[in-house]
């Protein structure tokens, strides 16, 4: 005997009006297509303007988390199963039949073509080759001393394009602006703005010659790649904030500056929509108000070989406008 929602679903078929309405009831404000399966035992959070296409399967187990930032599009018949945490940045599109499993972070404004696979997991065959692979997998799941083998997170940074049928292996970081060609198999990390192709994938070209300098200016379009992450750099956003005199960021942002020669990092910055906010790097904390002013980070600065310098904005809802930054 059929009853309740299950009965309506079976009566009208897999792509039922009742099922669609049930998903929208569970996830208010999320645009959900027909035949979508959303099972949430962990945490599911999403921003404004997110869409889930027909037939997509989302299973969030207890202790795992899925985060969709504003304006994410997830296409049809996509499978998403966080083992720990999967996050998809604002404005990113995940096209039909993609698979995202385990621990995966996809940045802002990325283009993920159909049939792309990103999985941070692995089948274990060499712990003891005399055992079944399935039994070795079970051992890794149950033995806390082997927890480091369970997952190696995948990171896709902002403005990347992953071509159709590409596979990104566990532990790989695809840096900002990179392009992975159709059918590529990527087993090693990718440099910023590199263009890759093949199985195994290798670099075949560059979108641009990525060389961090000691000074960047928001008014120079050539410096935008070095406003590395967390910034509102789409043409629409740049127009929106043009009157403010710089590039906007919230919550956290990363700059790429040549700091290896030493010196303090200087920012010309202001806060909008709050009378005051704070910017921090490690234990260093600087106050910012509504007028452009210079703040200096001169102690305990993390000098990374890849030139990235990460900052936090608090409160997280505050918007800062960065006009320029330099090392001196």
Element (H, E) at 186: strand 185-186
**Alpha-carbon distance values, 151 to 20, 60, 82, 169, 271 (Å):** 33, 16, 11, 11, 39
Question: For the chain, which domains are there?
Answer: 36-206 (2.160.10.10), 215-327 (2.60.120)
Neighbours of 170 (CB within 10 A): 18
pTM of the model as a whole: 0.87
Q: Which two tokens stand for residue 144?
A: 């806390």
Q: Which two tokens stand for residue 168?
A: 């990104």
Q: Are 141 and 157 in contact (CB under 8 A)?
A: no
Q: Are 15 and 24 in contact (CB under 8 A)?
A: no
Pairing of strands 57-60, 79-88: parallel
pLDDT tens across the length of the chain (328 residues): 333 333 333 333 344 456 666 676 778 899 999 999 999 999 999 999 999 999 999 999 999 999 999 999 999 999 999 999 999 999 999 999 999 999 999 999 999 999 999 999 888 888 888 899 999 889 888 888 887 787 899 999 999 999 999 999 999 999 999 999 999 999 999 999 999 999 889 999 999 999 999 999 999 999 999 999 999 999 999 999 999 999 999 999 999 998 877 789 999 999 998 999 999 998 899 999 999 999 999 876 766 667 899 999 999 889 999 999 999 8
Q: Are 113 and 168 in contact (CB under 8 A)?
A: no
- What backbone phi and psi angles, to 5 degrees, belong to 181? -70, 160
Question: What is the number of H-type helices and E-type strands within the chain?
Answer: 4, 29
State pLDDT tens for residues 194-253.
999 998 899 999 999 999 999 999 999 999 999 999 999 999 999 999 999 999 999 999
Element (H, E) at 104: strand 99-106
| Tokens 């299950």 sit on residue | 6
State pLDDT tens for residues 125-150.
888 888 999 998 898 888 888 877 87
The strand ranges marked E within 187-292 are: 194-198, 201-206, 215-217, 227-231, 247-256, 265-272, 276-281, 284-289
Q: Are 251 and 229 in contact (CB under 8 A)?
A: no
Task: Report the C-alpha gap between 102 and 169 in whole angstroms.
Answer: 11
Strand partners, 65: 43, 85
Write b or e for each residue in 144-162: b if 16 or more Cβ atoms lie within 10 A of its Cβ, otherwise e: eeeeebbbebbbbbbbbbb
**Alpha-carbon distance values, 107 to 33, 72, 210 (Å):** 24, 11, 19
Write b or e for each residue in 39-71: b if 16 or more Cβ atoms lie within 10 A of its Cβ, otherwise e: eeebebebbebbbbbbbbebbbeeebbbbbbeb
- Please provide the distance, in angstroms rounded to a whole number, between the alpha carbons at the two ends of the chain: 76
Helix then strand then coil, in percent of the chain rounded to 5, is: 15, 40, 45
Alpha helix stretches (DSSP H) within the chain: 4-12, 17-26, 133-142, 235-240
Strand partners, 111: 93, 161
């Amino acid at each position: 005997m059929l009853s309740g929602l299950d009965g309506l679903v079976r009566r009208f078929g897999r792509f039922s009006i009742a099922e669609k309405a049930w998903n929208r009831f569970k996830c208010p404000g999320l645009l959900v297509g027909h035949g979508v399966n959303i099972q949430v035992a962990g945490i599911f959070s999403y921003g404004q303007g997110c869409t889930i296409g027909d037939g997509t399967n989302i299973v969030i187990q207890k202790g795992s988390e899925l985060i969709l930032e504003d304006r994410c599009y997830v296409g049809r018949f996509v499978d998403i199963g966080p083992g720990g945490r999967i996050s998809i940045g604002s404005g990113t599109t995940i096209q039909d039949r993609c698979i995202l499993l385990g621990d995966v972070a996809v940045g802002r404004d990325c283009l993920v073509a159909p049939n792309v696979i990103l999985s941070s997991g692995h089948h274990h065959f060499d712990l003891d080759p005399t055992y079944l692979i399935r039994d070795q997998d079970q051992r890794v799941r149950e033995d806390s001393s082997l927890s480091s083998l369970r997952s190696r997170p995948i990171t896709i940074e902002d403005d990347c394009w992953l071509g159709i049928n590409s596979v990104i292996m566990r532990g790989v970081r695809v840096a900002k602006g990179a392009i992975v060609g159709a059918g590529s198999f990527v087993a090693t990390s990718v440099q910023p703005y590199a263009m890759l192709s093949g199985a195994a994938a290798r670099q075949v070209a560059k979108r641009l010659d990525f060389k961090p300098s000691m000074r960047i200016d928001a008014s120079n379009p050539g410096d935008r790649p070095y406003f590395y992450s967390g910034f509102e750099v789409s043409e629409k956003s740049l127009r929106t904030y043009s009157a403010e005199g710089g590039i906007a960021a919230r919550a956290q942002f990363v700059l790429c500056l040549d700091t290896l020669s030493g010196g303090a990092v200087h920012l010309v910055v202001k806060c909008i929509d709050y009378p005051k906010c704070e910017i921090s790097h490690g234990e260093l904390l600087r106050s910012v108000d509504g007028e452009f002013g210079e703040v200096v980070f001169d102690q305990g600065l993390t000098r990374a070989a890849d030139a990235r310098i990460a900052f936090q904005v608090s409160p997280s809802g505050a918007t800062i406008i960065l006009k320029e930054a330099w090392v001196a």
